[in-house]
Amino acid sequence: MGKRKNLLQTKSFVPACLFLIFILVPIWGYVTGHTFYVTFFARMMIYAVAAMALNLVLGYGGLISLGHALFFGLGAYSVAIPAYYGVDSGWFHLFITLLSCGFVGYVTGLISLRTSGISFIMITLAFAQMGFFFFVSLRQYGGDEGTSISNTSTFSGVGLNLGDLYTVYISSLVVLLLVTWFMAKIKHAPFGMVLRGARQNIARTASIGYPATRYQLVAYVLSALICGLAGMLMANLNAFASPDSLSWIISGDLLVMVVLGGLGTVFGPLLGAFVFLGLEEVLKFFTSHWLAIFGLAIVAIGLFGKAGIAGYLEHLQGRTREARP
In a domain, 166, yes or no: yes
pLDDT in tens, 274-317: 999 998 888 888 777 777 787 777 777 666 555 778 777 776 66
Averaged confidence pLDDT in the chain: 88
Structural domain total, the chain: 1
Evaluated on CA atoms 93, 235, 40, 247, the torsion sign reads positive
As a whole number of angstroms, the longest Cα–Cα distance in the chain is 70
Count CA atoms closer than 13 A to 122's CA, side-chain side: 5
Contact (CB, 8 A) for 64 and 129: no
In a domain, 210, yes or no: yes
pLDDT in tens, 67-118: 999 999 999 999 999 999 999 999 999 999 999 999 999 999 999 999 888 9
CATH of residue 282's domain is 1.10.3470
In a domain, 241, yes or no: yes
In a domain, 1, yes or no: no
In a domain, 5, yes or no: no
State the Cα torsion 297-48-230-180 to the nearest 10°.
Answer: 160
Residue 33, domain extent: 11-317
The residues facing 240 across adjacent strands are 148
Helices marked H in 33-164: 36-55, 69-84, 90-112, 118-136
In a domain, 134, yes or no: yes
In a domain, 323, yes or no: no
Distance of CA 151 to CAs 41, 84, 154, 164, Å? Answer: 23, 8, 8, 12
